[in-house]
Amino acid sequence: LALAQQSGDPRLEADSFTMLAQAAMRRGEYRHAIGYYQESLTRYQAVDDLPGQADSLVQLGGISRITGDIPNALRYQEDALTLYRQLGDRNGESKAISGLAATTHDYAHRRDYLRQALTISQEIEKRRLQITWLNNLALAYWYLGLYGQANSYQEQAVALARGTQSPIILAGLLDVLGRIYLKQGKYEQARHTFSEGLALAQQVASGEYAPFYEMGLGLVDLAQHEVETAVSHLQRAADQFAAHDMTAEHATARAWLGAAYQAGGDHCQAQQHTAQAAAQLESVNNISIEYPPQDVWWLHYQAAGENNPTAFSMLERAFQIMMDGIANLSDEGLRRNYLSGVAINRDIVLTWAAATHAQGKSLAVLTERDAEPGNVPEQLQRMLDMGVRLTAHHNATTLPQVIMNEFVELSGVERAVLYLRNAQDDALEPVLWHGLAVAEIPETAVSLVNKIKRTRLATRQTEQGHIPDGAIPELYTRSILGLPLIANGKLHGILYGDMRWIFGRCTQSDVSIAKVFANQAAAALENIAWSRTLEQRVVERTARLQALAEVGRDIAATLNFNMVLERITAHARDLLQADNCIVYLLDPAPQMLVPIASIGNVSEPVKTYHVPLGKGIVGDITQQGIPQNVDDILADPRRLQLPGVVVPPGQKLLVAPLVSRDVVIGTMTVRRDSNEPV
């Protein structure tokens, strides 16, 4: 630095201050590091060195985040992002966005930043970065209770990690996937994933990864009522977390260990472990990066029992910590999901509300909260991004689940049902449901769907059930939302959602935004239907061309005329999925159609009958020289009754005259006994 100052070159001085800042960072001297980076930033600005400025700002943002100066951390990262975009530096842009994602306490902003970072990493084909952002997105959605979205992102991350052939990378990802499976109730998948992760952690000798997998296995055992093995896994997890000085994680493992003892009937051990866990978490200000801290206090409350004089204070602590987790959340849908979609959070809300109401205290924090209108530009950008994701989805099998996931994330409804058209009879049927079983779909949903089928209008309404004396009205009152999925005038489906007022209420703003989403979802469904129709037409066209090619090969392969006709009838029967096929040739002198070849269930009288040209269904259509479908032979007045021939009701007929040089030389008939038209 001294030599640089002697030279009078501001850029050399800036580089020197940058190196000093890096050295200070390695020593943990964050205040000195900030001072050095500010000096380097000033000098890079003096020589208009934009890359140097951007890099200094990113570092200042990171250090400010570490030291708890969140406002300045966000400001530095945003300024860096502006410069990187001005430079067209996609790597730098990704760094700044990831810094913003790590800094913000607003999970809605974190989600949006991570999606931006993921998009950039995909564009610049950085697989390791893609894995990082997919994993971070999955964690964010897991925390918010949106397990379908979390599953989608983490399965992508794991698939990419397997492609790297790196056990250490995979070992860092399987824990999150196992947690998601566990929350979804997919216990065997969770057990398999945690077991694989534990084996990998032991293989790469990663002591910090192993306790997460021990804890995961313990939670799976606890969910499946295997108490003894749950205690063993959770005890090992707690011991290993303690050995690595991971206080918050140790506290969480001990709390769940207490829950396992509680499940086994050992209430003394349960109270002891959960009390010690709560004290440990308190020592780090109830901050936990890996697991929700409210879980510890909730488990402590459950172990203490309702009759414990301090039980309500434990419950109050769990509730307050839970609410602190979304204090800065700007997205109403995510807030509702966090409160109702995460099982422990939902239990905390319901139990706290009942206990607080019983004490005559106010529930205003839940019941009198007005939903914020939100940031309009952010909402518009979010809807645009959502539309892009939906229309870019071309898998007909998975699209309904994508629509359901997006709807639940957007609206925050507690229960949801997606109705789609049945391909057989075009009736609307429930194909996916969230927060309830198919047998639990309420009559309200059925009646609302019928109403929307008639009106084709988005509907918002309130339903109040029977409220017992002294009960909380908001627990028995539901906010209901119904959305028609209409594209180009066609109703493709209907979305139904509802939530109890204790978790939130649908507003007119919700309806307006949800209508835009419904239009996007309908467009995606129509695109899929159109693509499938096009694909089916291609398949049918290909089959016809293949059949014609095979006929051509048959003609070229033999001089036996009757054999060629037999093969043609076989091809026609198979291609048209008919019950039988007959080829007639015209005998010009008597003007009779003579059967030459047949295949299928053709009766003997039909095989030998010569059809007069112009008589009966076959003779009349052949004389006209134009192919024709007959939907019901028995109902056609042209029908000739042959002795000994019984025509089944509803039998269909296709007659295709054979024309050569504008002259009819014969005809082909195809019959089908099934209900499908020819």
Every domain of the chain and the residues it spans: 1-103, 376-533, 561-672
Check residue 178 and give its pLDDT: 98
Tokens, residue 454:
């008639």
Q: Say if CB 419 and CB 518 are below 8 A apart.
A: no
Asked if the model's pLDDT at residue 114 lies above 70, the reply is yes
Asked if the model's pLDDT at residue 470 lies above 90, the reply is no
Question: Quick one: which of 149, 112, 153, 161 has its CA closest to 135?
Answer: 153
Query: How many angstroms separate the CA atoms of 250 and 642, rounded?
Result: 89
Asked if the model's pLDDT at residue 371 lies above 60, the reply is no
Report, as an integer, the average pLDDT of 581-591. 91
Asked if the model's pLDDT at residue 354 lies above 70, the reply is yes
DSSP state of 308: S
Phi, psi values for residue 419, rounded to 5°? -105, 135
Report, as an integer, the average pLDDT of 235-240. 98
The H-or-E segment that residue 492 falls in is strand 490-500
Check residue 107 and give its pLDDT: 94
Query: How many angstroms separate the CA atoms of 499 and 514, rounded?
Result: 15
pLDDT tens per residue, range 304-317 = 987 888 999 999 99
Check residue 559 and give its pLDDT: 63
Give, in words, the CATH class of 376-533: alpha beta
Split at pLDDT 50, 70, 90, the class of 644 is confident
Query: How many angstroms separate the CA atoms of 390 and 117, rounded?
Result: 19
Q: Is 132 exposed, middle or buried (0-12, 13-18, 19+ CB in 10 A)?
A: buried
Check residue 174 and give its pLDDT: 97
Check residue 148 and give its pLDDT: 93
Split at pLDDT 50, 70, 90, the class of 571 is confident
Residues contacting residue 583 through CB under 8 Å, at least 6 positions apart:
565, 568, 569, 595, 596, 597, 598, 658, 666, 667, 668
Report, as an integer, the average pLDDT of 633-652. 86
Question: Quick one: which of 374, 438, 445, 442 has its CA closest to 410?
Answer: 374
Helix ranges restricted to H, 558-580: 561-575
Check residue 619 and give its pLDDT: 95
Q: Say if CB 42 and CB 57 are below 8 A apart.
A: no
pLDDT tens per residue, range 182-191 = 999 999 999 9
Q: Is 575 exposed, middle or buried (0-12, 13-18, 19+ CB in 10 A)?
A: middle
CATH fold match for the domains 1-103 and 376-533 = no
Asked if the model's pLDDT at residue 417 lies above 60, the reply is yes
Query: How many angstroms separate the CA atoms of 564 and 313, rounded?
Result: 91
Alpha-carbon separation of residue 621 from 150, 585, 625, 653 (angstroms): 62, 14, 6, 11
Check residue 426 and give its pLDDT: 76
Which CATH architecture fits 561-672? Answer: 2-Layer Sandwich (3.30)
Does domain 1-103 match CATH 1.25.40.10?
yes
Q: Say if CB 134 and CB 155 are below 8 A apart.
A: no
Question: Quick one: which of 575, 486, 565 has its CA closest to 525?
Answer: 486
Q: Say if CB 383 and CB 516 are below 8 A apart.
A: yes
Check residue 674 and give its pLDDT: 66
DSSP state of 580: E
User: Do β-strands 663-672 and 580-587 pair in parallel, antiparallel, or remain unpaired?
Assistant: antiparallel
Check residue 549 and give its pLDDT: 72
- HSE-up of 653 (CA within 13 Å, CB side)? 22
Q: Say if CB 464 and CB 442 are below 8 A apart.
A: no
The residue to which tokens 């030389």 are assigned: 665
CA angle 16, 21, 24 (to 5 degrees): 130
Q: What percent of the chain is modeled with pLDDT above 90? A: 70
Check residue 532 and give its pLDDT: 63
Q: What is the Cα 552 distance to its own chain's centre?
A: 49
Model-wide pTM > 0.95: no
Looking at every residue in the chain, the average pLDDT score rounds to 90
Tokens, residue 154:
């983490």
Q: Say if CB 491 and CB 431 are below 8 A apart.
A: no
Poorest-pLDDT segment among 117-126, 428-437, 560-569: 560-569
Asked if the model's pLDDT at residue 375 lies above 60, the reply is no
Check residue 536 and give its pLDDT: 63
pLDDT tens per residue, range 265-306 = 999 999 999 999 999 999 999 999 899 999 999 999 999 987
Query: How many angstroms separate the CA atoms of 640 and 663, rounded?
Result: 25
Residue 211, phi-psi category: left (phi > 0), alpha (psi -120 to 50), beta (remainder): alpha
Check residue 384 and give its pLDDT: 72
Helix ranges restricted to H, 244-367: 247-263, 267-283, 294-304, 311-324, 332-341, 343-358, 364-367
Split at pLDDT 50, 70, 90, the class of 642 is confident
Residue type, 284: V
Residue bearing the bigger pLDDT, 372 or 460: 460
Check residue 661 and give its pLDDT: 83
Tokens, residue 267:
């209430």
